[in-house]
Chains A and B, each alone.
Chain A
Amino acid sequence: MRLSIDHRTVYRFSEPQSRLVQMLRMTPENSHDQTVARWRIDVDCDVKMRRGRDGFGNAITMLYAEGPIADIEIAVRGEVLTSHSDGVVRGVSEALPPAVFLRATEATPRDPAIAAFAAEITAAADGVVGMLHGLNRAIHARFTADRARPEPGLSAAAAFDRPTATSRDLAQIFAVAARSLDVPARYVTGYSIVEGATRPTPHGWAEAFVEGLGWVGFDPFTGRSPQEESVRVAAALDAAGAAPVAGSRLGEGEEELDVAVTVSAQ
């Protein structure tokens, strides 16, 4: 599948900012099932950009801008060829051993309610893969999909108590649930057409590590593994660690964030 991606991020500030430093995780990389045909990051003001990697091995772009900056638009456009996969992640260079992804974070804490849910769902399951698929379907079935921007700072434990959930919340709940079963799990951010053509944020799903198989993608938004409709960009312990933008600004006032992601299949 040839996926065309347009990801625009606009920050507007109530007062001009004197400096901006941002770390962007907005660059997909080639793997067994995705080939980046064309990719560019454009910014509408004078910035310096430097490419690098974070500790999880994700490609990052550091963006440095000098003020006064009243607003800034980061436009990411590209095309990625994806092939049909069974959900197993292949050809991605791994920076860390899977066991790292058993740890809890502030947004993905150990949670007795999620653990009890996971234990109940998987009690009768056969094998780890079957268990994880069952879990994925159960999380999908439990919540009504919310396509809005996720609420900043909402933890998986808090999200679990609500009737609706965003793809980010679902994926973080999946990670907490899998870890409670002693299965390493991580949060993945990327692009997908499963939430519709245009949306206010990139898509999020999860990957779990299965001994003998490797990392396997699970998308609780659909209840199945992500396939050729998805472009994988970054992975970390939770959504904050894989965030498309981690930024810091020097200046007074408020900021307004506007994100539009359009993914289309050609």
Chain B
Amino acid sequence: MGKRPAFDEIMGMSGEAPPRPALAALGRWLDQTPDDELRRRQEAAETTFRQLGITFAVYGDSDTRERIIPFDIVPRVFLADEWARLSEGLVQRVEAINAFLDDIYGERRILAEGVLPPDLILGNPQFRPEIAGMRPPHGIWAHICGIDLVRTGPDEFFVLEDNARTPSGVSYMLENREAMVRLCPELFREYRVEPVDSYPDRLLATMKSVAPPGVRGGSAGPVCVVLTPGHYNSAYYEHSFLADSMGIELVEAADLVVDDDYVWMRTIAGRVRVDVIYRRVDDDYLDPLVFRADSMLGVPGLIAAYAAGNVAIINAPGNGIADDKAIYSYMPEIVRFYSGGEAKLPNVETWRCREPQALRYVLDHLDELVVKLVDGSGGYGMLVGPTASRAEIDAFRAALIAEPHRYIAQPTLALSTVPTLADSGLSPRHVDFRPFVLTGSNGVQVVPGGLTRVALKQGSLVVNSSQGGGTKDSFVLMAEPAGQSQTQTMGGMTQRQGGGA
């Protein structure tokens, strides 16, 4: 693995000093700040996270204690022009995802025109016939998308997967930034970094914008809530954090009732009509009358209210079909079909093991490839060929032969690295990236930041928090206003100032 030339996002293609010219100051900071000092700050940040309770539970772990995701003090940085180009690709992709969902649960033009094999959709458990023919208010399905990317060069990004259900991790984006501003203020004096703390406002504006048409405006405006499965959910911190920072109610199913095809929230002052629900409850549990009848986490009648157009559900039910890894491999065709142009953000080359020829190739190259379960997530059910043992490869070979349709395979890319504080000091570690893209009735916006995940083990390509990954802050640098020099120091700038540029 060590022989692969990986692009280092701070040090550049060489991976060694001098750093990329635009990041010379960051290179100096890394050089001049003693490791002990970096470690002290990193520990301070992690202490805060532990106190806040930003923890997650590791699945398949007999020790079910909750852990915090390790935080790395060295940020990853996107230059303004790199970000602008990346954003164009993200907007195009998310627009296509929304168009795809609207089509696939409506007219199904994409099947009629032979772009996708129909059985891939119609036989897919993620395609939910229970909500076919229902259309969300304003025709928007994927209000919050997290597009997982990997990078191999300054402008070389590849989409690894699309998260169109409930992409998590936004609380890390916000908390990591807060920690960085507090612990490394000098970096924000050196660089003009796009603020991310406007995320809750942006999300709330997005939610309000998709309220059912005709909802009373005025000072009250549409009523929005966050629906959580409860405090034992591994992402509960994020649910309460988001509700809190948007200033809206965090509710559980028992707090909501559906009456006369409208959704109401029980409050001590009586019932309040709810117009928009940011739900962190999976489709299967959303409404026991329509999905799993044994669900205690859902709201009976919610889908009827939704079908009647009286409530917006964020993200819309049925979105899993756009997340599906078997569909992923067709995303270039899907983007072309709905946007009329080539995808600006390419996919990672993907072999669909359901196709006999692809399966043969994959079986012959298991030691070079990453093999994934079509319906797996979080790094579970995944083979990383180059680092796998003989036994793991044999187990996957047997599984592939038994159920080829459940797997896809991809090459191992030379993922970019970012210097990371390891036990032995600063050392390059592979990273991926999840930007968050919001779609409301007034358009698509890319939040200038995101969740950077880092594989803390040397040489490792698996960044999932459940598999020993950590996170970093993700800086997006502001475009330089014309006529100002790049070395301008923004003395005393805080994150709340917003982008004056």
Q: Contact residues of A with B, CB < 8 Å?
A: 19, 21-23, 48, 50, 52-57, 60, 62, 64, 66, 95-97, 99-100, 102-103, 237, 240-241, 246-248
Contacts and interface: CB of A to CB of B under 8 A. Distances in A.
Interface in B260-280: 260-261
B90 to A, nearest CB: 30
A53 B308 CA distance: 9
B133 A99 contact: no
Contacts of A50: 260-261, 304, 308
B130 A99 contact: no
B304 A62 contact: yes
B307 to A, nearest CB: 5
Interface string B251-294: 00000011111000000000000000000000000001110010
Interface in B113-153: 118-119, 122-123, 125, 127-134
B123 A99 contact: yes
Contacts of B125: 103
Contacts of A248: 288-289, 300-301
A243 to B, nearest CB: 9
Given A21-B289, A247-B289, A60 B304 contact: yes
B260 A23 contact: no
Given A99-B123, A103-B123, A21 B307 contact: no
Nearest to B108: A97
Contacts of B133: 53, 55, 57, 95
Nearest to B307: A52
A96 B132 CA distance: 8
Given A100-B123, A247-B289, 8 more contacts: A23-B289, A52-B308, A54-B290, A55-B128, A56-B129, A57-B133, A97-B118, A99-B122
Contacts of A102: 119, 122-123
Contact of A64 (B108, B134, B288, B301): B301
Given A21-B301, A62-B304, A48 B132 contact: no
> Which secondary structure characterizes the binding site on chain B?
loop
A48 B289 contact: no
B293 A64 contact: no
Contacts of B127: 100
Contacts of B308: 50, 52
A55 B130 contact: yes
Most buried by B among A23, A50, A99: A50
A120 B257 CA distance: 51
Contacts of B261: 50, 52, 62
Contact of B307 (A19, A53, A96): A53
22 contacts: A21-B300, A23-B289, A23-B301, A52-B261, A52-B307, A55-B129, A55-B130, A55-B131, A56-B132, A62-B301, A64-B259, A66-B259, A95-B133, A96-B129, A96-B132, A97-B122, A99-B119, A100-B129, A102-B122, A102-B123, A240-B293, A246-B290
Contacts of B118: 97, 99
B130 A52 contact: no
B293 A21 contact: no
Given A62-B304, A102-B123, A246-B293, A237 B129 contact: yes
A240 B125 CA distance: 17
Interface string B296-333: 00001100100110000000000000000000000000
Nearest to A99: B122
A240 B130 CA distance: 12
A56 B307 CA distance: 12
A21 to B, nearest CB: 4
A18 B102 CA distance: 38
A46 B258 CA distance: 16
Contacts of B259: 48, 64, 66
A136 to B, nearest CB: 24
Contacts of B123: 99-100, 102-103
A19 B132 contact: no
A245 to B, nearest CB: 10
B304 A52 contact: yes
A100 B127 CA distance: 9
Contacts of A56: 129-130, 132
Most buried by B among A55, A60, A246, A248: A55
A96 B128 CA distance: 11
